[in-house]
């Protein structure tokens, strides 16, 4: 999604750089969790836990999840 013009992108970069590294890290984690929540909310209601995990993984990463421990 590169639909932001250069001027706005420069302003966003300036805003991000005024934050501490810890604050930037925290905000990125919050955005990740919010994205995951949106996916869970729009997932089909009849999925079991494993199917839901696979759905979330596929939506976030665009690929199927290998067998590995992953919890919502």
Three-class SS state of 23: helix
pTM over 0.85: no
How many Cβ atoms are within 10 Å of 10's Cβ, its own excluded? 11
Residue 48 burial by CB count (10 A; 0-12/13-18/19+): exposed, middle or buried? exposed
pLDDT for residue 63 = 78
Fill in the DSSP letter of residue 64: P
In the chain, where are the structural domains located? 6-61
pLDDT of residue 4: 79
* pLDDT tens-digit series, residues 23-72: 999 999 999 999 999 999 999 999 999 999 989 999 998 877 666 555 66
């Amino acid at each position: 999604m590169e639909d932001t013009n250069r001027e706005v992108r420069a302003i966003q970069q300036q805003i991000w750089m005024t934050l501490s590294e810890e604050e930037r890290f925290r905000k990125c984690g919050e955005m990740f969790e919010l994205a995951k929540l949106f996916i869970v909310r729009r997932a089909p209601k009849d999925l079991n836990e494993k199917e839901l995990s696979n759905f979330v993984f596929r939506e976030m990463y665009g690929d199927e999840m290998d067998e590995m421990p992953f919890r919502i």
